[in-house]
Amino acid sequence: KAGVTQTPRYLIKTRGQQVTLSCSPISGHRSVSWYQQTPGQGLQFLFEYFSETQRNKGNFPGRFSGRQFSNSRSEMNVSTLELGDSALYLCASSPSQGTGYTFGSGTRLTVV
Amino acid sequence: DQQVKQNSPSLSVQEGRISILNCDYTNSMFDYFLWYKKYPAEGPTFLISISSIKDKNEDGRFTVFLNKSAKHLSLHIVPSQPGDSAVYFCAAYNAGNNRKLIWGLGTSLAVNP
């Protein structure tokens, strides 16, 4: 079966712009989590959605938001981009909350 | 406050020898622990897990040991192979707390031929 698909794979944006990243989970998976990975900070949890509801949220500013659609696909939006937002953004899906996470290959965002 | 700590950012091991990756945690409410492996430009992949009711779980060359009293777990890879070279992340959660995964910063393992 298809894995977790994240689009786009690479993205270059300018400071102040906004960006939307997409994640298509494994078919049947209802939970989608988003993470930011930077070299010095490891995997930082952004938020988790389950059945279109945000169930958990990490310690990120309000510029970071997300949503989940009825087909479990999820989008993450970052507004007013800053240089420090340059990172690998990973999406993970699971059949239910908390276990069996499968990660996508990520979206590499570069803010210039 | 880093609730899950991987104090060694990197580890270098000779092929065929044992690799031991360590992870410490501070939250005694964690009851499930996982190890993930990550290659560059790929997402992490699940490796092995252990629940707090056990002290050891083995899967092929990979064994995870849990010492609850010390709040410490370790991943043993025997024998180590060059293809094991990757970043290894330790993660933990409390099943009663929305199962929110808390991640360590990772340990980069290099297995030298």
Q: Which of B36, B99, B103 is the closest to A98 by Cβ?
A: B99
Computed on alpha carbons and rounded to an integer, the radius of gyration of chain B in Å comes to: 13
Cβ–Cβ contact B41 with A under 8 A? yes
Tell me if chain B has a CB within 8 Å of the CB of A48: yes
Sorted by sequence, the CB contacts under 8 Å of residue B69 that are 6+ apart come out as none
Tell which phi-psi region holds residue A72, choosing left (phi > 0), alpha (psi between -120 and 50) or beta.
Answer: left
Q: What is the pLDDT along chain B (113 residues), one digit of tens a residue?
A: 679 999 999 999 999 999 999 999 999 999 899 999 999 878 899 899 999 999 999 999 999 999 999 999 999 999 999 999 999 999 998 877 667 788 898 999 999 99
Query: B53 Cβ partners below 8 Å, 6+ apart?
Result: none
d(CA B11, CA B18): 11
Q: Which chain A positions have a beta carbon within 8 Å of B93's beta carbon? A: 98
Contact status of B39 with chain A (Cβ, < 8 Å): no
**Three-class SS state of B83:** helix
Is B101's CB within 8 Å of A100's CB? no
User: Closest residue of B to A97, CA-based?
Assistant: B99
Predicted confidence (pLDDT) per residue in A74-98, tens digit: 999 999 999 999 999 999 998 876 5
A39 touches chain B (CB under 8 A): no
Phi, psi of B84 (to 5 degrees): -80, -10
Distance CA A70, CA A12 (A): 29
Q: How far apart are CA B93 and CA A25, in angstroms?
A: 21
Quick check: B43 and A56 CB within 8 A? Answer: no
The DSSP string of chain A is: ----EEE-SEEEE-TT--EEEEEEPPTT--EEEEEEEETTTEEEEEEEEETTEEEEE-S--TTEEEEE-TTS-EEEEE-S--GGG-EEEEEEEESBTTB--EE---EEEEE-
pLDDT of residue B1: 66
DSSP classification of residue B79:
S
Output A112 or B43, whichever has higher pLDDT: A112
| Distance in angstroms (rounded) separating the CA atoms of residues A39 and B35 | 19
